[in-house]
Amino acid sequence: MKANNLKKMRPLRVFLLQNSAGADVERNLAGIERRLRRAPACDLIALPEVFAVRGLDADYRAAAERLPGPIVKRLMALAARARAWVLAGSVIERCRGKIYNTSVIIDRRGRIVARYRKIHLFEANLDNGQVVRESDIYSAGTSPVMAKVEGWPCGLAICYDLRFPELFRYYSRHGAALFFVPSNFTQKTGKDHWETLVRARAIENQAFVVAPNQCGANPRTGIVSHGHSLVAGPWGDVLAAAGDQETILAVTLQPEALLRTRARIPVLRHRRLG
């Protein structure tokens, strides 16, 4: 993105909501709405991956909806009421017989402006012999998706995508100044990899990374999410970080930080491969 275009962007006030979702969709959504009612005004509200339901594959299938379904429509109303953009970290999308883990961006007027289907599906073999494999329920998305939020060019990703730098390089080549990475990163991997990966994606591409994460234990599986929602600046500095409890982080992203970082070390101009 050219420096002149960066200068046209204004500061972006972002709230990251870190929650501990269970299998009860209504309870999860009511809790989110209740917490946001007490929050001051902002430009964008960012929710984690599977913020509305967390449980077994059967729970996800039961909550799957054609977009916009009941969950997304409720967030569309929230966005219009709050006059703020909403990053619906991920909802379970049903489309043509398939199920996707899909991130949705809603504008201040309550309109869907972008949807991204998670490309890289998580798989892990846990120490207790338990296997977690998202491909058992989800189909993989096939396309990167970008959106403009208040003039900020943004690249969309979800959780496990964070481990694949080529996705973020694609967004960077297309002018991204900000990456969204809503997540349900587990405690086991999160304690070793979460902050390192978030900051690495920021440093490599001299961009902001907004990464709201779930916390607490999945009540159906017992798997604990790492929490520690994070915002990294283009220098790789941590601008805001949560602990392991439900909370709201507030941070203002400053375009000047992009200009300073990219002028200091012109990495983006020095790329030779991709």
Query: Residue 33 catalytic?
Result: no
Angle formed by the axes of helices 187-205 and 165-173, nearest 10°: 30
C-beta contacts of 134-140 below 8 A and 24+ residues apart:
134/101, 134/160, 136/57, 137/57, 137/60, 137/61, 137/99, 138/99, 138/100, 138/101, 139/98, 139/99, 139/100
For 177-211, give the DSSP string. SEEE--B--BHHHHHHHHHHHHHHHHHHHT-EEEE
**For residue 68, cis peptide bond before it (omega within 30 degrees of 0):** yes
Query: Residue 118 catalytic?
Result: yes
Token output for 1? 């993105």
Question: Exactly one of 42, 118, 134, 215 is catalytic; which is it?
Answer: 118
H helix intervals, 25-114:
25-37, 57-63, 70-82
Specify whether the CB–CB gap between 91 and 119 falls below 8 A.
Answer: no
- Position of tokens 């690495």? 200
Work out the widest C-alpha separation in the chain, in whole angstroms.
53
Question: Exactly one of 134, 159, 215, 246 is catalytic; which is it?
Answer: 159
Query: Residue 49 catalytic?
Result: yes
Which residues carry out catalysis?
A: 49, 118, 159
